[in-house]
Amino acid sequence: MVGSPAGHTDRAATASRRPDVPVTVVGAGPYGLAVAGHLKARGVPLRVLGEPMETWRERMPEGMYLKSVPRASSIADPGGRYRLEDFRAAEGQPPVGDGYAVPVDEFIRYGQWYQQQCVPELERRTVTAVAPDPAGFRLALDSGESFTSRAVVLANGFAPYAYLPPELARLTGPGLVSHSADHHDLTRFAGRRVAVVGAGQSALETAALLSEQGAQPTVVARTAALRFGTPPTTERGSDRPLPVRLAKPASLLGPGWSLLAFSRLPAAFRHLPEPTRTHFVRTVLGPAGAWWLRDRVEGRFPLLVGHRLRSVTADGDGVCLELADARGPGPRLRVDHVIAATGYRVRMDRLTVLDPALRQRLRLTNGAPLLDASFESGVPGLFFTGLAAAATFGPVMRFVAGTGFAARRIGGAIGGATGGSG
């Protein structure tokens, strides 16, 4: 604990260390809701702050589908009663298997339903600052309220970490370049030429949606060829023939022994050397489109694969992209706008809600917070979950499938420390 200011009496110092609330969860996406649900089950008094499923509602494009299969798209709850399949049943919808692509609007409704069932006391307030305090932490809200908390769980999602290559970032000011996470409604690009930079699900689905909504997209990708997943042969992984299951066992991340390990052994992942962890987080389930996306991409619009950006310049009210391939200079492309589907990179200097004094105390691994086995950072009482925890626990933390492991670990650590039940 941080010491009390000089000149205070012992009694005042003791009082100043008594927090207004034992635990605060910041964020109401899948990870924040899962942690809150597990803490409540342990009887831990807490406040949960944020707009339910805000990032999904405001930053995911209309018409999008989840890449994960339905059985890997449930937000973890302690009793296993609020899965995606339970939500579908509550809506009167039939069960679905691996061949069903989950629409983003269905997933958003599911997350809101989960919140109403499991975390009805959610406060729709935005946390504007988290700073050190003798009681632990002081949080400021957009309402003007300020309060203290002994522990804080940051479940801010991926939005703060959207990455733009430097050559593209300098054109965001004039409005010529944006990140794929900036667009909920792509209809504004109807009739316009748009370059989509990237080769992953976000890039390919953004381009498909642009094309289907009347825009003229062109995909620019460094990879020599686009990759797509393999369609499932059965609705459940357990229905596959035994030899196939032995060669490639099913997991929440997909079929294969390595994916099974990454999905089931995140606790072991943190013990790998840092360069190995960094390599796996960046490459496991790397750039590729879902199997159901192939027919919406191939033959629908130009795909400039094997090309990198040589220069990007403003050209009147548009953008000129000079490309290059392995043989040298490539084509010149002029578009009205560039959407960078270039992923996310966790860097603590982008998490501006966190006071600089706290950021400086964090131990980092490749720019992300280094966490202990319970997701606690180098600052006692400060926990990170979701994408920010991937550098410690592996690629499963990039997906909804990781909510169970994270919520159980954080719930167990905080529940024990605060004397909660369970």
Confidence of residue 8 (pLDDT cuts 50, 70, 90): very low
Domain count, the chain: 2
Measure Cα distances from 254 to 64, 157, 250, 284, 339 in Å: 20, 22, 6, 11, 28
For residue 35, pLDDT over 80 is answered with yes
Spell out where 117-156 has E strands.
Answer: 127-133, 136-141, 146-154
User: Last residue of a domain, which of 340, 359, 384?
Assistant: 340
pLDDT tens for each residue of 208-266: 999 999 999 999 999 999 999 999 888 888 888 888 888 889 889 988 999 999 999 99
- pLDDT mean over 29-56: 97
Per the DSSP assignment, residues forming a β-bridge with 309 are 323
Does residue 243 lie in a domain region?
no
| CA nearest neighbour of 342 among 176, 168, 155 | 168
Alpha-helix residue ranges (DSSP H) falling in 213-291: 242-247, 257-264, 266-269, 274-283
State the pLDDT at residue 6.
Answer: 39
Q: What is the pLDDT of residue 246?
A: 87
Q: What pLDDT score does 417 carry? A: 66
Q: What are phi and psi of 177, to 5 degrees?
A: -130, 140
Supply the DSSP symbol for 400: G
157: how many CB neighbours lie within 10 A of its CB?
A: 25
Q: Is residue 334 domain-shared with residue 352, that is, in the same domain?
A: no
Query: Is the domain of 330 the same as that of 378?
Result: no
pLDDT in tens, 108-135: 999 999 999 999 999 999 999 999 999 9
User: Is 144 among the domain residues?
Assistant: yes
In a domain, 241, yes or no: no
Domain CATH for 97: 3.50.50.60
pLDDT at 244: 84
Using DSSP, state whether 174 is helix, strand or coil: coil
Number of residues in the chain: 422
pLDDT for position 415: 86
In a domain, 110, yes or no: yes
Neighbours of 253 (CB within 10 A): 25
Query: Would you place residue 5 in the very low, low, confident or very high pLDDT band (cuts 50, 70, 90)?
Result: very low
**How many other β-carbons are positioned within 10 Å of the β-carbon of residue 169?**
15
Quote the pLDDT of residue 236: 84
- Same-domain status, 328 and 352: no
| 350 has a pLDDT exceeding 90 | yes
167-184 pLDDT per residue, tens? 999 999 999 999 999 999
Q: Tens digit of pLDDT for each residue in 364-385?
A: 998 999 999 999 999 999 999 9
Structural domain boundaries enclosing 309: 166-228+288-340
Q: What SS3 class is residue 125?
A: coil
337-359: b (≥16 Cβ within 10 Å) or e: bbbbbbbbebebebbebbbeebe
